[in-house]
Structure 1
Amino acid sequence: MTKIIDLIIQEKVYKSKKSRLSILNDFKLEVNSGERIAIVGKSGVGKTTLLNILGLIDRNYNGSYTLFGSKTNDLNLSQLAEWRNQKIGFVLQESALINSLTIEENIKLPLLYAKSGENCKLKDFESIINAIGIESILKKKPLECSGGEKSRAVFARAVIMKPQLILCDEPTASLDGDNKERIITLLFKMNQEFNTTIITVTHDLEVANRHEKIIHLERRM
């Protein structure tokens, strides 16, 4: 197996005028290509912060991070943006959809940024849409959709580029049983077919137990 993540965090600090919060103290994570890892823990221990660090969104911490064999501190802003678009897929709690675009346009947005829209295979797009059952909302705007529909659209956008790493923050929290199963099935299918590495933050123990490894985050006093 190839190690794609080697992360060491001495400390992540949030400061305000009245307080100082330190989390993820002396945290280490190594992940091999194709692994499925669930991250669980109480609110406030740093689960979402960890995903932001893994996804190159948050770089303000004490530590070191090697991703895909490269030290992330050596990447310039252009490289960071390219990796976030093409190599990393984000399934976020908040929809982060653009309200002025249709659901279809939102899903295909990464292809536009990658300048590869013309090369997009229609069958790939359609297979994702069909797998998670959102054909009927493609022409709608996000404000016309339910929370569950928007969550599935965000998932489709995250996987459209077939990234090497998918980071999920409570991907099934707003979904019913059937749609939760659709998301998990497609996620693990990508893992099997493309050796995609999956890291999922979840409070759902049933979802966590379907991963190969579970990491429990705790606050260190």
Structure 2
Amino acid sequence: MPVTATSSHQQPAVIMLQPFTRRHPLAKHSSWVTERQLLERFKGGDRGVDEVVMYQVVHSADDDQHQVEILEGLVTNMFAVGRDPNDDSEDSMAIWTAPYGILHGSMRALCIQACKRLGHRVIERAPVLRDVGTWTEMFLTGSGSMLRPVGVMHVPQNACDSDASLNMLPSGSATPMGQSPVDADQFIRSWEFEDTRVGAAIRAEMRRMLEDTAMPIEDLR
């Protein structure tokens, strides 16, 4: 039976995907404060969005198709938990997180360490939207809440139509709308995640690790 939000003592986040990428992803850059204002306006609203998560569309050399890679939130890093579609073994559970095009937050690094201590396989590769059906959990890491489960993910129409609109993009293109956020009215697909068990265990391990080092959470992203 899925574990509800109360089991991790956190309200699951509502996230909204947007086609956007950082211009200077490897460091905290002053220009990002201005750039992200385009996306901050999507928070709240009728959907109660807690965090906007950026994605890009890239050409996949594996199957000569285009795919949506989920990168990071405005102030968080993102992880997806689920079955590895390339692994047919019974124990194929893995955790994905983007390794490039993002700011490598300290909480992200701590989370990866905690995953390894718990024996979870971490794949540092951007979660791909076409695999969402194999995911059991999603969660965000950041100094605001250390690790917060995702309860609902809203996705724009153009990202969902991977067999149609994405295949029409020229090879090697970035995103179908460049750096232009998608109007909220186009968000017609949503996925819900009820299971929070893996994330809750990782969060507990992260807290233990922080207690061992006596490092304040406020000093981390």
> TM-score, length-normalised on structure 2?
0.26
Q: Which has the higher helix share?
A: 1
> TM-score, length-normalised on structure 1?
0.26
